[in-house]
Structure 1
Amino acid sequence: MQARRVIQVVGCHAEGEIGDVIVGGILPPPGDSVFAMMQAFAREQDGLRRFLLCEPRGSVARHINLIVPAKRPDCAAGAIIMEPTEYPPMSGSNTICIATVLLETGMVAMVEPETRFRLDMPGGPVDVVARCQNGKCRSVILRNVACQALLLDQKLRLGDGREIVIDIAYGGMIYALVDATRLGLRLEAGEARALAELGEAVRVAARAQFPDVAHPENPAIRGVSIVQLNAPFAGPGTVARNTCIVAPGRSDRSPTGTGLSARLAVLHARGEMTLGDSLVHESLIGSRFRGVIEEEAQLGGRPAIIPSIEGRGWITGFHHYVLDPSDPYPEGYVLSDTWGVGDGGRTMLSQE
């Protein structure tokens, strides 16, 4: 066998959502911050994201993360998150996978019963508390970046002419949030295709009708990139069904950590949740994340929150991906039966 490239990957999932972790074979991109490193990788090495995420090596249901050196002295490591069509500044499920892999492979020393460390993520530093027992990372609590409701109760016209109401919030990614039950959906696994099609329609419409929505302190993070379809809020301490639709149109298998963070920010802005309150989000496959409003903060001079998200990750395997010089698909391919009618796997950068 000839190989032009060999990349080592640790397979992992967090509550059902694949978030594999690259541990070798790719050098870190340049940049004086992890956000700048993410931008450099997207500009100069996006073919590697396609190589690993597109078929025949990957799939639309996979994310992959590149471990990079931290740029902050108080952080153990940094990471660049790669999703099917974008590089998000933060992701709860991917961060849980990253923490699990770092600990269970010994890249970060495991201390029982708790290991505490900080990760340098593109969206900002994230504190991790890992509950560990007998060499296993049993669960991960991450203290997310500052999250904020950006716009509430906005009218959105879909491509089919329907008018719906959405909230827009930053939870580490910019979300459009929709009460799916108002549209006659029950948020059940059997509705996954209908939910995915609705969510992608909302994302496309929201990006067109709210082009100026952006992170209050980092204008390079702009535009709605993901959609949360949720059930009504029943009060603090309860469990609520939700699914977050990842471009180009499929349900996140996990309850989505940044989505739960965005929901907490919206509920806090409405006065329905306050400091110390919790909410559990449940995914279409029944997996759960628990979110807590840990701190009230400011972001761009407006009220925000610092939430924590707790979930579990599991290593699924150890892989070596190779590029044979004669392989006709060095950057993979996508087909609309699984990748929908999106942009064919090309990167949707938030800063574009």
Structure 2
Amino acid sequence: MRWKKTITMVEAHAEGEVGRIVTGGVLDVPGRTMLDKMNHINQVDDSLRRFLVNEPRGCAQMSTNLLLPKTHPEADAAYMIFQGDKAHAMSGSNSICLVTVLLETGMIEMVEPETIVTLETPAGLVRARAACKDGKCERVTLDMPPSYADQLDAVVEVEGLGKVSVDIAFGGIFYGLIDPAQFGLRIAPENACKLVEIGCRVHRAINAQLEVKHPQLEGLEGISYTMFVSHDDDGIMKGATILPPGRIDRSPCGTGNSARLACMHARGQTAEGSTHTARSIIDSTFEVTVTGTTEVAGRPAILPRVSGRGWVHGIHQIGLDPSDPYPLGYMVADCWGDAFDLLS
């Protein structure tokens, strides 16, 4: 065996969503801040993301998280999230995976009954409180970035669907929130393919027709994901985030529910101090809370908190043989969906 590149990862999932953590093989990415580093990946050199995420070394149903040297003095660790389309600024489920891996592998010393870990992300600092017992990270609670409703009840014209009503909100990244009742659908595993198809169409329409841009974080433009939002018969919040190029988040989604809470707060449907249960398409749950209010560049915003569980399930090492004809991998639509439209 002869490899010109070797990368080691620890595999974890948070309430069903796989978020593997790169723990060795990458020294750094150019940039002064984590936002700079993310923009370098997205705008200058995307080869590392493609190597890690694309087949044959990656697969559609996962995220890969790049652990990097911190650039902020208050941080304990820094990271960004690699998906099928690009690098993203923040993720609740991936933050839960990262904290679980950092503590259970001893990269950061575990303190029982609670360990505080400050994560540096391109969207800012995220404070994590990990409940720990007998060497196990049992639950991670995240104080998420300030989140706000950007556009309520916006309407986009979607090919094959007509006019669709959406909310645009920021929860660490931008979301288009969609009520599936517009299409006579409920959020359930048997409807996954239909939800993905509709979500991808709406995603393209939003980014083509609406101006979405963070007022302070350079490079955070356009929505990252769509998210179908409803309630189960028992009143619990139900959600399904659609990630490019075409799959459903298995977790309830931390950034998505932060965006959802911001819209609920703007409509008077939740209040400071309120906690809700958020349920995923596979019925796993996060607890989500509005801990306070603030402003983002003069816009009313909330301070969301997300709590969930993560589990380490493997260690993975990948490499590149210099004769391999697919050094940056490939995507095929049977698994990756409408990849090329969404990535263009």
TM-score with structure 1 setting the length:
0.94
Q: Deviations over 1:70-102 (max 9, x none)?
A: 111111010021111121111111111111111
- SS of residue in 2 equivalent to 1:72: coil
CA distance 1:207–1:269, change in 2 (3 Å)? same
Give the C-alpha shift of residue 233 in structure 1: 8.9
* Letter in structure 2 aligned against 1:65: N
Give the C-alpha shift of residue 162 in structure 1: 1.7
CA distance in 2, matches of 1:161, 1:17: 29
* Letter in structure 2 aligned against 1:216: P
Report percent identity of matched pairs: 41
Q: Which range is displaced more, 238-247 or 216-225? A: 216-225
Give the C-alpha shift of residue 161 in structure 1: 4.4
Contact 1:234 1:240 in 2 (8 A): no
Output aligned runs, 1:261-280, within 5 Å: 261-280=258-277
The answer to whether structure 1 residue 230 and structure 2 residue 214 are counterparts is no
Give the C-alpha shift of residue 43 in structure 1: 4.2
Q: Deviations over 1:308-344 (max 9, x none)?
A: 0001111111111011111111111111111122327
The answer to whether structure 1 residue 39 and structure 2 residue 36 are counterparts is no
CA distance in 1, matches of 2:42, 2:155: 33
Q: Deviations over 1:201-253 (max 9, x none)?
A: 1101111111x211122242111120010114999xx5211100001111111
Q: 2:308 aligns with which of 303, 306, 311?
A: 311
1:154 match: 154
May I ask how many residue pairs the two structures share in their alignment? Answer: 344
1:4 match: 4
CA distance 1:344–1:58, change in 2 (3 Å)? farther
Q: Which range is displaced more, 29-38 or 99-108? A: 29-38
2:134 match: 134
Q: Deviations over 1:100-145 (max 9, x none)?
A: 1111111111001100121111100000000111111101000000
1:241 match: 238
Contact 2:31 2:40 in 1 (8 A): yes
CA distance in 1, matches of 2:179, 2:254: 18
The answer to whether structure 1 residue 68 and structure 2 residue 65 are counterparts is no
Output aligned runs, 1:46-57, within 5 Å: 46-57=46-57
* Letter in structure 2 aligned against 1:100: T
Q: Which range is displaced more, 40-49 or 111-120? A: 40-49
Contact 2:92 2:254 in 1 (8 A): yes
1:17 match: 17
CA distance in 2, matches of 1:292, 1:24: 35
CA distance 1:303–1:233, change in 2 (3 Å)? farther
Gap regions ≥5 residues in structure 2: none
CA distance in 2, matches of 1:43, 1:270: 36
* Letter in structure 2 aligned against 1:227: T
Output aligned runs, 1:330-349, within 5 Å: 330-343=327-340
CA distance 1:234–1:302, change in 2 (3 Å)? farther
Contact 2:49 2:87 in 1 (8 A): no
CA distance 1:234–1:123, change in 2 (3 Å)? farther
Give the C-alpha shift of residue 345 in structure 1: 8.6
CA distance in 1, matches of 2:214, 2:257: 17
1:283 match: 280
1:169 match: 169
CA distance 1:180–1:167, change in 2 (3 Å)? same
Contact 1:54 1:345 in 2 (8 A): no
1:111 match: 111
TM-score with structure 2 setting the length:
0.96
Q: Deviations over 1:55-77 (max 9, x none)?
A: 11111111101111111111101
* Letter in structure 2 aligned against 1:221: L
- SS of residue in 2 equivalent to 1:343: helix
1:183 match: 183
- SS of residue in 1 equivalent to 2:340: coil
Q: 1:302 aligns with which of 292, 295, 299?
A: 299
* Letter in structure 2 aligned against 1:14: A
